[in-house]
């Protein structure tokens, strides 16, 4: 990766947003606030997921931020592993970022919030030019939206522009 301040046109720091669970949503953002890639993985079990966290985080060069939505032991595994690797880690809740990104009418309940997250994430995928192999599942869609919110929180973007 190029050193900071070199005009490479590519980000040199990254943020990973994770919708934690056995079915995990992931979204990687560059320090320009653009979505780089998104994924959804069914890890099969909490034990399999815990084993996958370290190699996944280690595989992303220049990963400096991890934002995790969720709670419990799975979320703690993400946060603890990131801390051990020197990655800035933050836990959040869907209720927090949804209030800042979505209109109240877009999340009257969990199902409606997930449906709207997919629509908004599809627009973000197109806007960013990130590779799109398929329609994002709700976990990846929520990771994308949370990642946008996180980029704003760490000042990688000035404002959030979603196509509602």
Instruction: Reduce the DSSP state of residue 40 to 3 states and report it.
Output: strand
Q: Let me know if residue 142 belongs to a domain.
A: yes
In the chain, pLDDT over 90 holds for what percent of residues?
A: 58
How far apart, in whole angstroms, are the C-alpha atoms of residue 120 and residue 28? 16
Q: Let me know if residue 163 belongs to a domain.
A: no
Residue range 16-40: average pLDDT?
Answer: 94
Q: Let me know if residue 1 belongs to a domain.
A: no
Rg, C-alpha atoms of the chain = 15
Q: Indicate the pTM of the whole model.
A: 0.88
Q: Let me know if residue 22 belongs to a domain.
A: no
For 156, residues 6+ apart whose C-beta sits below 8 A from its C-beta are 15, 29, 31, 32, 33
Q: Let me know if residue 68 belongs to a domain.
A: yes
Q: Domain total for the chain?
A: 1
7-16, 21-30, 80-89: range with lowest mean pLDDT: 7-16
Please report which confidence band the pLDDT of residue 89 belongs to, taking 50, 70 and 90 as the band edges.
very high
Domain, as residue range, for 40: 33-153
Q: Which residue has the higher pLDDT, 90 or 110?
A: 90
Reference 152, options 49, 36, 21, 17; nearest CA is 17
Give 108-130 pLDDT, tens digit per residue.
777 888 888 888 999 899 888 88
Q: Let me know if residue 9 belongs to a domain.
A: no
Find out whether 119 and 126 touch, Cβ atoms under 8 Å: no
Q: Let me know if residue 23 belongs to a domain.
A: no
């Amino acid at each position: 990766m190029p050193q900071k301040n070199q005009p490479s046109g590519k980000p040199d720091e990254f943020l990973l947003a994770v919708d934690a669970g056995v079915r995990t949503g992931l979204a990687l953002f560059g320090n320009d606030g653009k979505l780089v890639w998104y994924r959804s993985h069914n890890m099969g079990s909490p034990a399999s997921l815990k084993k996958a966290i370290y190699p996944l985080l280690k595989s992303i060069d220049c990963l400096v931020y991890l934002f995790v939505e969720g709670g419990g032991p799975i979320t703690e595994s993400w946060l603890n592993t990131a801390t051990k690797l020197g990655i800035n880690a933050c836990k959040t809740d869907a209720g927090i970022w949804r209030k800042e990104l979505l209109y109240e009418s877009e999340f009257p309940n969990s199902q409606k919030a997930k449906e709207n997250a997919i629509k908004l994430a599809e627009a973000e995928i197109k806007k960013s030019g990130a590779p799109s192999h398929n329609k994002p599942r709700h976990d990846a869609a929520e990771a994308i939206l949370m990642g946008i919110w996180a980029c704003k929180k760490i000042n990688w973007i000035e404002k959030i522009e979603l196509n509602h």
